[in-house]
Chain A
């Protein structure tokens, strides 16, 4: 199981979502993608999208207005 990180700080919609989509394509099932973002839309649209795709997803606020989103590629 590999862990990949993408830096989406200070990026606006829809860049974080497209970056996650592109990165996940090249990952193996079971790998975890950690996405750093400060965009409130991301913790809504990236998480909705990942759930719809059937991935396991969670997020945590690491400091004021900055989040890490964890996506485990499940299929």
Chain B
């Protein structure tokens, strides 16, 4: 097998992925002073869009608790989390282009569209209730020796089990 095929076409071993993720998280923590989070920036983007529509979001409870408001010099679009998310998207695009496997997918039918949108809404709502997704509340929490990561993890497995059963019984 050629080196190109090995590097870009075949999946890497889980251990390699785990090590890269761990080191990337250490670098992010060292450079920004915060653990890696993903959904925060999507919330900022949504809030930015609402702000442009004339809805004042700055008084929302979410921005007044813990450290969810911006640091000085940050905006809704220019902050650590957004920059990291855009980098992740560009990196994924680069990887798929290097493997020459990029493809725009069509929408199969209305059912797929409906459940895709419903799933997205539920994930977004859930991630705000728990102050993070499986990156912010799980992946970044456990190496920080925070108990909440383990609690989040346990319930994530419960949710995944129920979700898989629903998928198997009703959606396929």
List the interface of chain A (C-beta within 8 A of B): 9-12, 15, 18-19, 22, 38, 40, 44, 65
Contacts and interface: CB of A to CB of B under 8 A. Distances in A.
A8 to B, nearest CB: 9
Contacts of B99: 40
Given A10-B112, A40-B101, A44-B11, A18 B167 contact: yes
B103 A9 contact: no
B96 to A, nearest CB: 9
Closest 10 CB pairs of A and B: A10-B108, A40-B101, A10-B106, A65-B103, A10-B105, A19-B172, A22-B172, A18-B172, A11-B108, A44-B11
Given A10-B112, A19-B172, A22-B172, A38 B105 contact: yes
Interface residues of B, number: 13
A38 B167 contact: no
A18 B99 CA distance: 25
Contact of B168 (A9, A11, A12, A22): A22
Contacts of A10: 105-108, 112
Interface string B104-115: 011110001000
26 contacts: A9-B106, A9-B108, A10-B105, A10-B106, A10-B107, A10-B108, A10-B112, A11-B108, A11-B112, A12-B105, A15-B172, A18-B167, A18-B168, A18-B172, A19-B172, A22-B168, A22-B172, A38-B103, A38-B105, A40-B99, A40-B101, A40-B103, A44-B10, A44-B11, A65-B101, A65-B103
A interface SS class: loop
Contacts of B10: 44
A40 B112 CA distance: 19
A18 B103 CA distance: 22
A9 B106 CA distance: 9
Contacts of A19: 172
A16 B84 CA distance: 31
Nearest to B101: A40
B97 to A, nearest CB: 13
Contacts of B105: 10, 12, 38
Given A11-B112, A12-B105, A65-B103, 16 more contacts: A9-B108, A10-B105, A10-B106, A10-B112, A11-B108, A15-B172, A18-B167, A18-B172, A19-B172, A38-B103, A38-B105, A40-B99, A40-B101, A40-B103, A44-B10, A65-B101
